[in-house]
Amino acid sequence: MLTLSIENLVVRVPDLQQPVLVIDRLDVAAGQHLAVTGGSGSGKSTLLNILSGLERVREGRVLWNASDIAPLSESGRDRWRARNVGLVMQDFHLFPGLTALANVLLPARLAGAADAAILARAHDLLARVGLSRPDQRIETMSRGEMQRVAIARALLRRPGVIIADEPTASLDVESGAAVGDLLLEVAAETRSTLIVASHDPRLVERLDRRLSLAAGRIVADNAASEVAA
């Protein structure tokens, strides 16, 4: 479980005068399930990239368990992400030619962290997400099954935070619902902080806290509303 604190975050991109994301303050409690919503270009993906260390923080602070990731180098952020973040993406980003098990294990193997315990956990996770054929090649799976493999991969190294970017967007209603259920269940089971960017109202409304972005700014936060109330 990781707590998140963002302070005075400003993200700019070249050739644009206005920043694409400005967050003066945001705190997310450990184990909280946060939904980030907003239209296209609202800054959702930028926020997730900043939170996961994919993009460098140049202005402001992003503290996970009170540790700022802004000063970390590119390689340092890679290592931090590998240890702490489980990523689930809309396009799965699975690697064809490999089995489900090999896909789950790939990042750990590339990081030199795939020991016997990790292998056993990969088998357990695939069983947990409802896949009974770990040796099935990824390209022969349905999209729903692929996203299950992606969730298993995200959970492999017991991340403190699961960050999901539109995890149900490329799935049919039924598969989307099942994947949503699964995400919430495994996050609860592992007590991970869960941050989901989504347009899927059925998934969003099931999360503890909902944050709405527009033009790179937080325009609604139900937690703040509740506090105010």
Partner 1 sequence: MISFVLADLRRLWLGAFVLVLLVALATALGVAVTVQERALRLGSARAADRFDLVVGAAGSETQLVLSSVFLQPSPLPLMPGAVLAKLAADPRVAWAAPVGFGDSFMGYPIIGTTTALVKGTTTGFAEGGLFAHEGEAIVGAAVHLPLGAEIKPMHGTAETGGETHTEIAYRVVGRVKPTGTPWDRAILVPVQAVWHIHGLGHDDHGDHDDDHHAGGEDGDHAADAAHLPAHADGAVAGHDEAGHDADHHEGDHHEAGEHGADDHDEHDHDGDGHHHGHIDPDGALNEVFTDQAPGLPAILVKPKTIADAYRLRQEYRTAGTLAVFPGEVLTRLYGTLGDAKMVLSAVAAGSQALVAAALLLVSVIHVTQRRRQIGALRAFGAPRLAVFGIVWSELFVLVLIGIALGFGGGYLAARLIGDAFTRQTGVILPVEFAAEDGGMALILLAIGMVFAAIPALMAYRQSPAQALRS
Interacting residue ranges for partner 1, rule: CB under 8 A = 45, 49, 52, 54-55, 74-75, 78-79, 81-83, 85, 87, 89, 91, 93, 95-98, 102, 106-111, 153, 157
Which is nearer to partner 1, 13 or 120 (by Cβ)? 13
Instruction: Report the distance separating Cα 156 and Cα 48, nearest Å.
Output: 20
Quote the tokens at residue 126.
């695939």
Q: Please, which residues have CB within 8 angstroms of residue 128's CB and are 6 or more apart in sequence?
A: 152, 186
Minimal distance, residue 92 CB to partner 1, in Å: 9
Residue 191 Ramachandran class (φ > 0 left, ψ -120 to 50 alpha, else beta)? left
Please give the single-letter amino acid code of residue 58: R
Choose between 93 and 202: whose C-beta lies nearer to partner 1: 93
In whole angstroms, how close is the CB of 31 to partner 1 at the nearest point? 22
79 vs 133 by CB, closer to partner 1: 79
CB 94 within 8 Å of CB 150: yes
The string over 134-170, giving b where at least 16 C-beta atoms fall within 10 Å of a residue's C-beta and e elsewhere, is bebebeebeebbbbbbbbbbbbbbebbbbbbbbbbeb
CB of 169 to partner 1, least distance (A): 15
Rounded to a whole number of angstroms, the minimum distance from the CB of residue 5 to partner 1 is 21
Residue placing its CB nearer to partner 1 in the complex, 97 or 226: 97
**Minimum CB separation from partner 1 for residue 28, in Å?**
20
- Name the residue nearer to partner 1 (CB basis): 46 or 212: 46
Six-digit token pair at 23? 């967050």
